[in-house]
C-alpha cells in the first residue's frame, strides 16, 4: 500500500511539474520533462573532473545552504561531458539533463558549461523548498551572439567592486558583453600612462548638475578625481573573463571630448581653455582632425588595445557638432584637399582613419550610428541607438550591427509612472516594452538579418548618483533584455514572463539588490470612451485590490474598488493604490485631468513622433493630461526635425474661442521652442481656413505655454501646425543637428 502511495505521489509530482513552466530567465529554447525527480541533497557530490573555474563560481553563487563534496565521476551527482568541436554558432550551446540520480551537463565549450550552471543555479533556487528538481532535459543556445549591457562611468563614477557586481548581474542572466563607457565630456576614467594629465585633470570637474535639467542647478561640490588604474582595469577584465563576459571599451571621438581637451587643449580647433563639463548634454568643442590629434588618439588606443582583448573597440562617433570644424581653417582645408563633400564627410574621414589604425592592430571598430554620416568605414560595425534605421542601413550594406534603439533599450528612461519614480533622463520604457522588442527589423531579408549581431541596453548615468540607483534602473528590465537576446521572448505571453520576474525578486532580495517595484504600482492609461475619455488602471497583481478616489483624497481600503475603466466626466484628480490583505502595497498614483472640448476626440498626425517619445501616439495630445516639464516620459510627444500637424475631429460643429498647447525649451538636450504655429478650421476636412498664426517671439515670450484667443469659432474639424525650429543654429548645443520639438495637450475651449 505504501509503495502504491509513493508511486502515485511521484506520478502526481511529475504531472504538477509538467504543467508548470519553469521559473527560468532567460527561458530555454527546449525543455522536456521526464519521469521522476532529483532529490536535492544536503551535500552535492561534484565530479572531480569538472572545469575548475566555472565550478568554483557555481559553488560561490549557491546561497541555499547546499554543501559540496568532490567525488569520483562514477559516484558524482553533477557530471560534465565536453562535446566534440563546436559547429559554427554553437559555442554557447549546452544540454542539461536532470535524472533521479544525476545531473549531467554537456557542452562544446566551457562557456556553454558556465551558461548551463546559470540555469542549474536557478533550478536549485526555485526548488530548494520542495527539495526536489523535476527530471528534465534542456537543450539550449542563444539566438544572438551579442547580448550586452552598457555602463556610463563618466557622468557618475562607480568603484571596481561595483563594476564587478554589475558584471555578476550580466552573468546571472546569460548576457555576454559589457560595454564600458570610459570617456566623455564630464570625465576621463581610464589611466593612459603616456598622457598622465588625462586623469590628473580630465578625471575631475568643479561641480555637477543636479535635479531636473530644466532647473539648471548645480551642487557646488568638486567631483573626482575618479578613474581606474590600468591594474584595476586588468583586474576587472579578468573578473569578466572568468564569467565568460567580453568587455568592449569605449573611447569617445571625435565628439564628447571636453574632459580630454581640458587636459590637452592643443587637440581642439580653438585655443580654449577647456574644463570637464559640469552640465549634461552635447558641446561644440570636439577633437580637431589634425595630425597631432590622430597621434594622440593612436597612442591612447595602443594602451587600450594592450589592456582589452576584445575583438571590437568602441570609438563613439555620436553627437559630434560641426560648429568648430566649420569655423576652422585647417578643417576646411582638409575638406578641400581630400575632396570631401562637407563636415559630415570630414567625420567619415576621421572615423575611417581611426578604423584603419585599429584594423592594423588586428581589431575592429564599432560606433554609434552617427558613424554612418558621410559614408561608413569599410569594416566598421554599427551600434544603432537613434532608432532601427542605422542597423538596417548597416545590415543592408553587409556591415554588422548591434541593435540598441533608445525606445526599447535605454534604461535611463522611466520604467513606471514618472510621478512616482526617481528623476530620470526622460522617455518611458517599462518592462513590457523592453520585452516586446525584436532585434531583427522586419525590413531585412534572411540574408541581411545575419548581420544583426544582437541586442544591448544602455545605462547613461546623468541622473544616477550611486550604485543603488544603478540597480534600480536595470532591474527588472535586464531580465527582459536577457530573454530578448536569448531569443525566447514571447510578447503575447508577457504576463507569464512577468510572473517569472516576480519569482526572481526572491533571489534579488537575498542579494540585497535595490530593484524597481514599478510593476506592483498602479499603471494608468487613458482610453477613448464614447465622445470622451476613461482611465484604465492595472497592476501586476489582482486588479480587485485597486482602490481609487475622484476627489483628490488618498485612497483607503474603503475607497471605490476598481472594476472597469473610470469615466472622466470633467476636470478632476484621480488617485489610486493597490491593497492586499487590507494593507497598502503600492505607491499612491496621482493623475490630474484637464478636460476640454477636444479631449478624447479623434486625432490624426501627418508625421509620427520619435519612438523614444511616442507613448500613446497621437491620442496623447487629446488625453486630458498636461505634461510635466521636468518629466519627458509618457505625457509628451517628441519630434526630431519634424513639424506637428494634427487634425482633430470634434464630431460635430462645435463652438470655441480659445486654443492652448505647450512646447518645451531645453537647449542642452537639443529641445527648442516651436518656430511658429498656425490654426485652421474646416467643416468638411478638406477645405481649411487659417484663423490664427503666431511667431517665434510670441511663443518665446509665453515660454512655450501657449494660450490663444481665436475669436468666436464654430467648426467640426480643427487643424494645428506647430513648426519645428529646424536645424539648430551655431552657438547652441547640437548645432547643425535637427532640433527636437516636444508637445503635450492640444486643448479647445
Residue positions annotated with a catalytic role: 184, 256, 319
Report the distance separating Cα 399 and Cα 452, nearest Å.
9
Contact between 144 and 487 under an 8 Å Cβ cutoff? The reply is yes
Cis peptide, bond prior to residue 273, ω within 30 of zero: yes
**CB count, 10 Å around CB of 56?**
12
Contact between 237 and 259 under an 8 Å Cβ cutoff? The reply is no
Report the distance separating Cα 68 and Cα 62, nearest Å.
10
Report the distance separating Cα 388 and Cα 400, nearest Å.
13
271 Rama sector, left if φ>0, alpha if ψ -120 to 50, beta otherwise: alpha
Report the distance separating Cα 284 and Cα 263, nearest Å.
17
Report the distance separating Cα 133 and Cα 224, nearest Å.
50
User: Which residues lie closer than 8 Å to 576 by C-beta, 6 or more apart?
Assistant: 522, 524, 537, 546, 547, 548, 549, 555, 562, 588, 589
Contact between 317 and 371 under an 8 Å Cβ cutoff? The reply is yes
Report the distance separating Cα 476 and Cα 473, nearest Å.
8
DSSP-based three-state secondary structure for 727: strand
Alpha-helix runs per DSSP H in 214-290 = 230-242, 258-263
User: Which residues lie closer than 8 Å to 742 by C-beta, 6 or more apart?
Assistant: 613, 627, 632, 636, 637, 638, 639, 663, 664, 671
Report the distance separating Cα 128 and Cα 208, nearest Å.
47
Contact between 282 and 734 under an 8 Å Cβ cutoff? The reply is yes
Element (H, E) at 147: strand 146-152
Total residues belonging to the chain: 749
Element (H, E) at 323: helix 323-327
DSSP class of residue 378 equals T
Contact between 735 and 327 under an 8 Å Cβ cutoff? The reply is no
Rounded to 5 degrees, φ, ψ at 246 are -90, 130
**CB count, 10 Å around CB of 241?**
13
**CB count, 10 Å around CB of 100?**
14
DSSP class of residue 351 equals H
Distances (CA, A) of 433 to 78, 163, 406, 484, 492: 38, 26, 11, 11, 12
Contact between 405 and 420 under an 8 Å Cβ cutoff? The reply is no
Report the distance separating Cα 558 and Cα 541, nearest Å.
19
Rounded to 5 degrees, φ, ψ at 218 are -130, 155
Element (H, E) at 577: strand 572-580
Amino acid at each position: 500500500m505504501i509503495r502504491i502511495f509513493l508511486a502515485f505521489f511521484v506520478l502526481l509530482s511529475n504531472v504538477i511539474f509538467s504543467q508548470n513552466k519553469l521559473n527560468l530567465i532567460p527561458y530555454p529554447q527546449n525543455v522536456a520533462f521526464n519521469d521522476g525527480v532529483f532529490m536535492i541533497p544536503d551535500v552535492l557530490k561534484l565530479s572531480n573532473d569538472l572545469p575548475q573555474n566555472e565550478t568554483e563560481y557555481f559553488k560561490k553563487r549557491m546561497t541555499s545552504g547546499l554543501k559540496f563534496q568532490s567525488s569520483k565521476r562514477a559516484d558524482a551527482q553533477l557530471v560534465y561531458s565536453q562535446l566534440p568541436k563546436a559547429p559554427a554558432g554553437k559555442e554557447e550551446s549546452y544540454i542539461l539533463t536532470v535524472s533521479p540520480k544525476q545531473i549531467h551537463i554537456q557542452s562544446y565549450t566551457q562557456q556553454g558549461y558556465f551558461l548551463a550552471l546559470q540555469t542549474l543555479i536557478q533550478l536549485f533556487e526555485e526548488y530548494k523548498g520542495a527539495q526536489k528538481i523535476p527530471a528534465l532535459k534542456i537543450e539550449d543556445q542563444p539566438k544572438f551572439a551579442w547580448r550586452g549591457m552598457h555602463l556610463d562611468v563618466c557622468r557618475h563614477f562607480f568603484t571596481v567592486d561595483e563594476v564587478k557586481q554589475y558584471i555578476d548581474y550580466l552573468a546571472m542572466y546569460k548576457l555576454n558583453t559589457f560595454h564600458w563607457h570610459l570617456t566623455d565630456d564630464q570625465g576621463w576614467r581610464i589611466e593612459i600612462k603616456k598622457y598622465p594629465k588625462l586623469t590628473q585633470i580630465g578625471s575631475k570637474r568643479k561641480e555637477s548638475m543636479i535635479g531636473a535639467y530644466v532647473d539648471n542647478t548645480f551642487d557646488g561640490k568638486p567631483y573626482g578625481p575618479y578613474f581606474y588604474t590600468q591594474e584595476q582595469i586588468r583586474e576587472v577584465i579578468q573578473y569578466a573573463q572568468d564569467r565568460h563576459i567580453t568587455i568592449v571599451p569605449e573611447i569617445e571621438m571625435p565628439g564628447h571630448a571636453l574632459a580630454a581637451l581640458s587636459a590637452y587643449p592643443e587637440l581642439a580647433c580653438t585655443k580654449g581653455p577647456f574644463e570637464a563639463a559640469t552640465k549634461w548634454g552635447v558641446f561644440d568643442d570636439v577633437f580637431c582632425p589634425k595630425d597631432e590629434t590622430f597621434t594622440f588618439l593612436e597612442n591612447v588606443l595602443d594602451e587600450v588595445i594592450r589592456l582589452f582583448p576584445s575583438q571590437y573597440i568602441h570609438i563613439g562617433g555620436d553627437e559630434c557638432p560641426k560648429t568648430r570644424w566649420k569655423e576652422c581653417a585647417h578643417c576646411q582645408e582638409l575638406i578641400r584637399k581630400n575632396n570631401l563633400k562637407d563636415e559630415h564627410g570630414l567625420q567619415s574621414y576621421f572615423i575611417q582613419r581611426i578604423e584603419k589604425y585599429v584594423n592594423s592592430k588586428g581589431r575592429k571598430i564599432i560606433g554609434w550610428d552617427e558613424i554612418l554620416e558621410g559614408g561608413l568605414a569599410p569594416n566598421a560595425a554599427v551600434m544603432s541607438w537613434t532608432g532601427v534605421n542605422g542597423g538596417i542601413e548597416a545590415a543592408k550594406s553587409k556591415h554588422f550591427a548591434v541593435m540598441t534603439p533608445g525606445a526599447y533599450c535605454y534604461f535611463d528612461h522611466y520604467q513606471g509612472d514618472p510621478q512616482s519614480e526617481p528623476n530620470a533622463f526622460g522617455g518611458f520604457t517599462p518592462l513590457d516594452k523592453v520585452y516586446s522588442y525584436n532585434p531583427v527589423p522586419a525590413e531585412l531579408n534572411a540574408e541581411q538579418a545575419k548581420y544583426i549581431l544582437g541586442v544591448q541596453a544602455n545605462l547613461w548615468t546623468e541622473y544616477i548618483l550611486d550604485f543603488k540607483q544603478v540597480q534600480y534602473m536595470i532591474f527588472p528590465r535586464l531580465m527582459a533584455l536577457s530573454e530578448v537576446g536569448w531569443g525566447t521572448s514571447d510578447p503575447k505571453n508577457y504576463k507569464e514572463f512577468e510572473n517569472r520576474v516576480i519569482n526572481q525578486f526572491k533571489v534579488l532580495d537575498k542579494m540585497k539588490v535595490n530593484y524597481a517595484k514599478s510593476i506592483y504600482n498602479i499603471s494608468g492609461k487613458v482610453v477613448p470612451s464614447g465622445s470622451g475619455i476613461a482611465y484604465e488602471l492595472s497592476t501586476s497583481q489582482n486588479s480587485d485590490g485597486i482602490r481609487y478616489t475622484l476627489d483628490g483624497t488618498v485612497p483607503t481600503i474603503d475607497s471605490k474598488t476598481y472594476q472597469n475603466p473610470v469615466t472622466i466626466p470633467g476636470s478632476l484628480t484621480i488617485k489610486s493604490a493597490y491593497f492586499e490583505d487590507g494593507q497598502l502595497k503600492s505607491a499612491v498614483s496621482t493623475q490630474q485631468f484637464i478636460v476640454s472640448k477636444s479631449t478624447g476626440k479623434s486625432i490624426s498626425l501627418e508625421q509620427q513622433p520619435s519612438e523614444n517619445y511616442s507613448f500613446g501616439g497621437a491620442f496623447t495630445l487629446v488625453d486630458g493630461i498636461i505634461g510635466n516639464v521636468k518629466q519627458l516620459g509618457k505625457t509628451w510627444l517628441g519630434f526630431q526635425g519634424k513639424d506637428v500637424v494634427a487634425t482633430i475631429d470634434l464630431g460635430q460643429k462645435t463652438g470655441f474661442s480659445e486654443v492652448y498647447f505647450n512646447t518645451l525649451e531645453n537647449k542642452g538636450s537639443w529641445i527648442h521652442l516651436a518656430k511658429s504655429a498656425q490654426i485652421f478650421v474646416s467643416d468638411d476636412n478638406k477645405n481649411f481656413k487659417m484663423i490664427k498664426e503666431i511667431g517665434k517671439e510670441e511663443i518665446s515670450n509665453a515660454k512655450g505655454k501657449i494660450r490663444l484667443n481665436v475669436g468666436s469659432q464654430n467648426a467640426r474639424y480643427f487643424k494645428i501646425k506647430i513648426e519645428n525650429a529646424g536645424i539648430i543654429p551655431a552657438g547652441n548645443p547640437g548645432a547643425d543637428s535637427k532640433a527636437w520639438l516636444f508637445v503635450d495637450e492640444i486643448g479647445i475651449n
